[in-house]
Structure formats: structure tokens, C-alpha cells
Chain A
Amino acid sequence: MYKRAFLFNGIGSKPEKLLINLPPVLMEKYEYYLEETFSKLGLNKDLDKNKAYDGRVAEWVISLICDRVVYEHYIEQGIIPDIGAGYSSGIVSISACFGSVSHDFAHGIIMMNRATMKCLENHNMKLDMGIIIGMNYEDARELLSSKFSEDDIIVGSGNSAFHVMISGKAKAVEEALFCALQEGALKAFSFGTGVAYHHPIMKAYSQEYVDFCGSVKYKDPLYPMISGFDSSIITTGEGVLRENQLNVYTPIRWDLALKELEKMGVTEFFDVSANGAVKKFSRVNKSKCKIYTLEEV
């Protein structure tokens, strides 16, 4: 039924790493969108000059703009998706690219992360996220459950057989990363973001974000989407809204979503990130499927 899937990345890549791969013609488009968007949002293009949380969300908005540029490039090349998936804030990105919400509204959703961060600060919540390379979901879950409470830390995202994201209280994340290295992880590092996206603890601190997501009517997406949370197929605006609202505090099973896409017949995956970030942490059955990046297209 489906043959070609577009994969949208979340936040995490530094702007300089994203932009280095954009060819001049796409860079020109990026500059145009950047100027327009930052001006509307009141953000400074010199990221260091943004105050408090603005600098951080500005980086995340840049990720969305890059996704948009790459997405439009693929479409212009005649590469049309049958289905798509968004990883973490990639859900916001795909919601706009697949036409459920405007790009302006998607940027607004990203900006609402400031309210979440402010709320966490007001409640003195010290949270964090981390990456473990060299462990799969089951290994990481076993490690965490043997030493920690789920209230403190969980596997926030099972990405592939060798890549997981953990999320929770900062102290638990720090300890878990240390334990992971002792147990044979190839690499383990924290984001130091002060937030714990995809941990249920975030629900209490993200009401403004959730309310903002629900403040407009979502159109049905141009192409179906697969949920990164439960691998269900989303074809309605209501479904896209639900994904955006769940996004902050619900664990992801990216690995399972990709497997489900393979089961449904997808053989061509297109990484919509500018720097091939999705391909790096995702895995598909190489004998049947391939993940294409911007560089390869």
C-alpha cells in the first residue's frame, strides 16, 4: 500500500551542522524563510544575542525551517511521499509540511517550549535527557528498571537496535548514563536541556504548550502519517492534533514505527533532515529498504 516514507527529524542538530549540507540554491531559500520567520517571531539571527530561552527555541525553529526547505526540494524533484513519520519535534515539522497546520503555527508551537521551560524553572524541576549508543530499547529498559524508579527516569525513545534516548530527573539521567557506560554502551551523553521530553513527568508542566497546540483547527494531512507513539496510522486533522499534544510527555518507539512501515511495504525512506540525522540513528532492513538523505538525492 505504501512504498515511500518521509522521515522528519526532531531537534538536536546544531544549526551549523544542518546548514553545512545545504547547496547554494537551498541555502538561498533557507535565508528567505529565516528572515521572514525570525522577523515575525522577534528572534535575533545572531543566536547568542537572544535572551533566556529564546536562543534555544531559535535553534529549534531553524531545524524546522531546514526541514521545510529539504521537504520542498524533494517534492520539486518529483519525490512524493506515500506516508510520513515525525521523530519528536519532527511531528511539528511534518504537521506543517503535510499541510495540517501553517508553518507559522508550527513555529508558534516550537516557541511555546519557552513556557514549558519557564514552568519547570518556577517549580525548580531539574530534568534532562541523554543518549545511549550501543544499547537497544530492551537492554536500556532493563538497565533502568534495575536501578531506578520510572517516576525518575524512563527510556524516552527506542530509536534502533543501537540507539536510545533516556529522559527524566537530571540526577537519574546522569547516574544512568554512567551505568550504561559500565554496562558496555559505546557512548552515553546528556543533552543538558533542562527538560525531559517524552517522560510523563512533563505533562504537569506543559499545559500552555498543549493548549496552544489545540488552539486551531487542523486540516487532514496531505499524506498519512504513522504515530511514533503507537504506530497507528493518522489520516485526520484530529489525529495530527493528538500527536502534537502527546508529543511532550509520551515515550516514542521510533524503532517500532519504522518496522511497521516496512511491514506495510515501505522500501524507500527519505530523511528530511538537512544533515542526514535521522538516517544516523535509524535502521531498516538493508536487504529490502534504503534510507536516502539530501546528499544522496
Chain B
Amino acid sequence: MREITDQIRQEIKDMIFDYYAEECEVEKDEITMDTNPQEDLGSDSLMFVELIEMTADKYDLDIKLQSIGKYMLKSPMDTMKDVVEMFCKIYQYGNDIVNQ
């Protein structure tokens, strides 16, 4: 397991908010932790894949999408809080996220 600092958490949150703001063409400050990425922002799963790819590149992670998919069966991504939390777990646990 990789240690995650408050600074990395904030960096991940900023990266996710910036990404959705740009892709969904909304102001960043309109997005909150309670925002639903699909219903409120109109995001789709292909955007989600791109975000995973960006994260993997940025933090040099080797992550299998199916590990994330299995995690999402247990923990659906209903809010931005869920999304940020999941990406922090990807950073920490990589493919072992499925067991978290």
C-alpha cells in the first residue's frame, strides 16, 4: 500500500474537478463534493476511463480497469466525493482496490 498525504489528496481532488469542469464545460466552482457526475454534469463512462488513464500516467500506476469496475460494484460513484475517494484508493492500493 502506498502512503497518501493530504497534499496528494488535494492534488487528486483538484485534478478530478479540473477534468470534469473542462470536459463537461462547467465552471469549476459549480462542482461540489455532492455533485453527481452523471446526472448533474452529464459525464459518461468514456470520460471516466480517460480520467483513470490520466491518473495512471500522472502517478505511474499500473491499474487494470476491471479492478476498478469490481470496486464500483460495491461502491457506486454517485457523488464527486465517491469519485475522489476512489481515486485516492487507486493511488494507495492500485489493483488491490478491489479488496478495499
A-to-B contact residues, CB < 8 Å: 133-135, 139, 162-163, 181-187, 280-281
Contacts and interface: CB of A to CB of B under 8 A. Distances in A.
Interface in B46-77: 46, 48-49, 64-70, 72-73
A186 B52 CA distance: 11
Nearest to A286: B57
B45 interface: yes
Contacts of B98: 184
Contacts of B46: 133, 163, 280-281
Nearest to A280: B46
A112 B45 CA distance: 33
Nearest to B57: A286
A281 B72 CA distance: 21
B45 A139 contact: no
Nearest to B49: A162
A181 B45 CA distance: 13
Contact of B65 (A182, A184, A280): A184
A129 to B, nearest CB: 17
B83 to A, nearest CB: 13
Contacts of A182: 73
Contacts of A139: 66
B49 A184 contact: no
A186 B45 contact: yes
B68 A133 contact: no
17 contacts: A134-B49, A134-B65, A134-B69, A135-B65, A163-B46, A181-B73, A184-B64, A184-B65, A184-B68, A184-B69, A184-B98, A185-B69, A186-B48, A186-B65, A186-B69, A187-B45, A280-B46
Nearest to A135: B66
> What are the 8 closest A-B residue pairs judged by CB atoms, nearest first?
A184-B66, A184-B69, A187-B45, A134-B65, A184-B70, A280-B46, A133-B45, A186-B69
Nearest to A185: B69
A49 B69 CA distance: 41
Contacts of A134: 45, 49, 65-66, 68-69
Contacts of B48: 186
A163 B50 CA distance: 12
A185 B49 contact: no
Contacts of A135: 65-66
B6 to A, nearest CB: 29
B67 A133 contact: no
- The residue among A162, A183, A186 with the most chain B CB atoms within 10 A of its own CB is A186
B80 to A, nearest CB: 17
B59 to A, nearest CB: 16
Nearest to A139: B66
Interface string B64-100: 1111111011000000000000000000000000100
A190 B65 CA distance: 20
A280 B65 CA distance: 16
A276 B66 CA distance: 25
Contacts of B49: 133-134, 162-163, 186
A182 B69 CA distance: 8
Contacts of A187: 45
B99 to A, nearest CB: 13
A186 B68 contact: yes
Nearest to A277: B46
Contacts of A133: 45-46, 49
